[in-house]
Structure 1
Amino acid sequence: MSERAARTLLTLYRYAGAAAYPLMGPYVAWRASKGKEDKGRTRERYGFAGHERPEGPLIWVHAASVGETIAVVPLVQTILGYGVNIVLTTGTVTSARVVRERLGDSVIHQYVPLDLKPAVSRFLDHWSPDLAIIAESEIWPMTILELGARNVPQVLVNGRMSDRSFASWKKRTSLAEALFENLAHVVAQSEIDGERFRALGARPVTVSGNLKVDTLPPPVDEKTLQAVRRQIGKRPTWAAVSTHEGEEKIAAEIHAALRKRHPGLLTIVVPRHPPRADELAEQIRSMGLRLVRRSSGEPVAADTDILLGDTIGEMGLYLRLTEIAFVGRSLTGAGGQNPLEPAMLDTAILSGKNVQNFRDSYKNLLERGGVKLVRDRNMLAGAVNYLLLNEEARRNMIAAASATVNDMRGALAATMKALEPFIHPLVVQAGLRRASKG
């Protein structure tokens, strides 16, 4: 595709988005009916503001979902310490809850506008950001073009590009270049990610490491943790977390195979998408297993086989209940899920081999012995059995994972260094404004 064709395509995208805008109502309403949108705040998806714009410099930070939101929390807190206002957008109900729990009223939270010109323009007209910071892999053409047209610096932080995304963009390099030339800086997670962004025309690109390593471990309510621990007692446990379709059944089958070898065994299953819980509960019970859903408030009994973690925001609880964690979307799914939270919370980590989206983290964990990759259900069952039987091996993996995380820290400082030329002028403006009022 030529450069001229790419720019023509982006222009057509702009007009197509404007034409589609009036038709988006039923789609957003359908999402709200499924709990995927906040029913009381759907107007924000069309760019309507839910708050007044504060006076002075303002930075727009966008994090799509829970993982990205957790990753940028320390970054946001650091910037807030300089006295600059932040409007933080997210795309999901669960990520909005994370913002409320971890940042409270220190930021203005809005749902990200649809990537359609009327919505994006309305959002930018109201908030008029001085800088846009985008987390990980959120490449929205209309938003990037509108920010570029307004000469708002855009910085991609914790930048990640999966194998699949890179292959797709490589087929449209002119289109990628027409978009990425609007980015003032890309701060990539790894050297591989950095090289991919450079290959697609992004300049300049620096590498920081993964911001998720510099976050705190997932929080937990101590009273709840102690109560559930009392219910479990000294029973052996293992967990399958962030699971995708098919992996929950595998976990239940492994439980059924191992419970005779490990009397009292409790398996904790935490699906990546809690709305699947009804279906999963029925499936697991049909296998003759006794199941307790965390959302029901029912205690874990002595004969409970499976604790189904169907709540949001309690990963810190589930991981603290065990020392063995299988991380999903890696056996039946593709790409894997983030292994860093289990590493922070003293677990021996198991995973399938499909972990391309977190290649760098898994590479570091493998080199230190903090994770074991398995190819199928039988190999996973064998690994769980081995770790349940061998405390020394389990402890060694836990220590290796913890050491790996400690060695990987430093991404926040590197990211702030890259952001300094963009943030410093805003800090000065904010300071002068406060001084003039004082």
Structure 2
Amino acid sequence: MKKIRARLLFSAYSGLGSCLRLFVPPYLSWRAARGKEELRRYGERLGHASARRPEGALIWLHAASVGETMALIPLCERILAANINIVLTTGTVTSARLVRERFGGRLAHQYVPLDIGIAVRRFLNYWKPDLALVCESEIWPMRIIELARRRIPQILLNARLSDRSFQAWRRRKFFAREIFSCFTEVICQTDEDARRYKMLGAPRVAVAGNLKADIVLPAKNEELEHYRRAIGARPRWAAVSTHEGEELMAARVHRILRKRYPDLLTIIVPRHPERITAIIDRLRSKNYHFVRKSLGEVPGPQTDILLGDTIGDMGLYLRLTEIAFVGKSLAGEGGHNPLEPALAGAAILTGPNIDNFRETYQEFMKNDAARFVDDSTMLAGCVHHLLEHPEMRKKMIASGRKTAQSLSGALRQTFTILKPFLQPLTLAAQLNRANDRHG
């Protein structure tokens, strides 16, 4: 009976997707007008390929956005080193730009097809992947079922499941079992994530840790020194990965602290640079003096705010400060990962809304490596305290880096779990190269 209910629900989901197909082009055009899609590539959302499929073994990797893409970069490099082809799909303009800048033509990038039957089937018919690796919590029923029908192994990497998502799936446990049982393997960040996936029907579950703990964000030395010279000895702090509402909070903090530190510099790095026009309008309306990294501008003596409106430069922004507020935690929900700023050498401040990274923050709080703030006034107080007490700031930085390093090793463990799936593809790639040489 449960199987029948699950199949009826999936049929309804599939049918709804088919009904909505007519609305996809205007929807994508509307998103493109807001900077959330590349209009010239919207066919990819319907499964139409815009790149040539290379011959030989191919792995489909998927990362939703910039954070997940960054987490997959070291894994992509290892797979490419084994001469296995990759088609990497992402869901945002910013992540597409990051892939282009990092990999160039070494792999194929496509926007992920919408979870509509015809789009997913068209994508799979063209790319014919030998293995599908999906990052974090991208659970899309049509993709999962279509891969299972074709008997293509699919593995969830760096898997996590928030409280809200877990409860939602739990209410539809009969459907969850049909979906999660299709995964060949689920490689989780924490024991709690593993327990949840097991409860929802995943047959094979492992724990490897968080891939983001193995990321050391790069920064170009010349550019870093250029900005450091421009900033000089000015006191500064950063609000990174901010979401709507948090940029103005950071600006209010700047105004509060400027009474005590007239030469204060605030660095604001929005999570989605396509929002920059709206952010600029708000800052101008409040008479803040700002410069933009995307225009090659550097802070002058009168600059209040450095806007980090570029992709792939987080390593630069974090190395310009020793204090970082991590966004989507005051005005947003779920928070962002503190591991990257901790490894870059910043004392961590965050709002209370960190459900997506609760276990990570628990480790940080246990080691006095992060502090929680409830609003912009409290944030201003914490920034002031850390500016006034460098010894405490240094202690938090050291503890944060040590905590982040203790959580590392996920890449090595993940690669070990993936070896049985990668070895046949590596062998096929080697044979293909040998045939080419002797052809």
Q: CA deviation at 1:377?
A: 2.5
Structure 2 length normalisation: TM-score? 0.95
Separation in structure 1 between the aligned mates of residue 52 and residue 281 of structure 2, nearest angstrom: 47
Separation in structure 2 between the aligned mates of residue 62 and residue 277 of structure 1, nearest angstrom: 26
Separation in structure 2 between the aligned mates of residue 346 and residue 209 of structure 1, nearest angstrom: 21
Q: What whole-Å deviation, never above 9, does each CA across 1:129-182 have from its counterpart, x for those lacking one?
A: 111111101111111111111111100000011111111111111111111111
Counterpart for residue 291 of structure 1? 290
Runs (4 or more) in structure 1 with deviation over 4 Å come to: none
Matched positions, count: 437
- The answer on whether the counterparts of 2:94 and 2:272 sit within 8 Å (CA) in structure 1 is no
Q: Which moved more, 1:277-286 or 1:301-310?
A: 277-286
Counterpart for residue 419 of structure 1? 418
Q: CA deviation at 1:245?
A: 2.5
Q: CA deviation at 1:272?
A: 1.9
Separation in structure 2 between the aligned mates of residue 369 and residue 348 of structure 1, nearest angstrom: 10
- The answer on whether the counterparts of 2:97 and 2:311 sit within 8 Å (CA) in structure 1 is no
Q: CA deviation at 1:48?
A: 1.3
Counterpart for residue 158 of structure 2? 158
Question: What is the identity, as a one-letter code, of the residue corresponding to 1:135?
Answer: C
Report the CA distance shift for 1:79/1:261 in structure 2 as closer, same or farther (over 3 A).
same
Counterpart for residue 58 of structure 2? 58
Structure 1: unaligned runs, 5 residues or longer: none
Counterpart for residue 11 of structure 1? 11
- The answer on whether the counterparts of 2:323 and 2:383 sit within 8 Å (CA) in structure 1 is yes
Question: What is the identity, as a one-letter code, of the residue corresponding to 1:169?
Answer: W
The percent of aligned pairs where both chains have the same amino acid is 52
Q: Which moved more, 1:106-115 or 1:14-23?
A: 14-23
Counterpart for residue 213 of structure 1? 213
Matches for 1:24-423 after TM superposition, within 5 Å: 24-217=24-217, 219-423=218-422
Separation in structure 1 between the aligned mates of residue 110 and residue 302 of structure 2, nearest angstrom: 45
- The answer on whether the counterparts of 1:21 and 1:118 sit within 8 Å (CA) in structure 2 is no
Question: What is the identity, as a one-letter code, of the residue corresponding to 1:128?
Answer: K
SS of the aligned residue for 1:106 comes to coil
Q: CA deviation at 1:296?
A: 4.1
Q: CA deviation at 1:355?
A: 0.9
SS of the aligned residue for 2:104 comes to helix
Separation in structure 1 between the aligned mates of residue 429 and residue 279 of structure 2, nearest angstrom: 52
Q: What whole-Å deviation, never above 9, does each CA across 1:108-149 have from its counterpart, x for those lacking one?
A: 111111111111111111111111111101111111111111
Q: CA deviation at 1:288?
A: 4.1
Report the CA distance shift for 1:275/1:56 in structure 2 as closer, same or farther (over 3 A).
closer
Q: CA deviation at 1:390?
A: 0.9
Structure 1 length normalisation: TM-score? 0.95
Separation in structure 2 between the aligned mates of residue 24 and residue 278 of structure 1, nearest angstrom: 26
Separation in structure 2 between the aligned mates of residue 266 and residue 52 of structure 1, nearest angstrom: 47
Separation in structure 2 between the aligned mates of residue 367 and residue 23 of structure 1, nearest angstrom: 49
Separation in structure 2 between the aligned mates of residue 425 and residue 311 of structure 1, nearest angstrom: 39
Question: What is the identity, as a one-letter code, of the residue corresponding to 2:373?
Answer: V
Question: What is the identity, as a one-letter code, of the residue corresponding to 2:173?
Answer: T
Structure 2: unaligned runs, 5 residues or longer: none
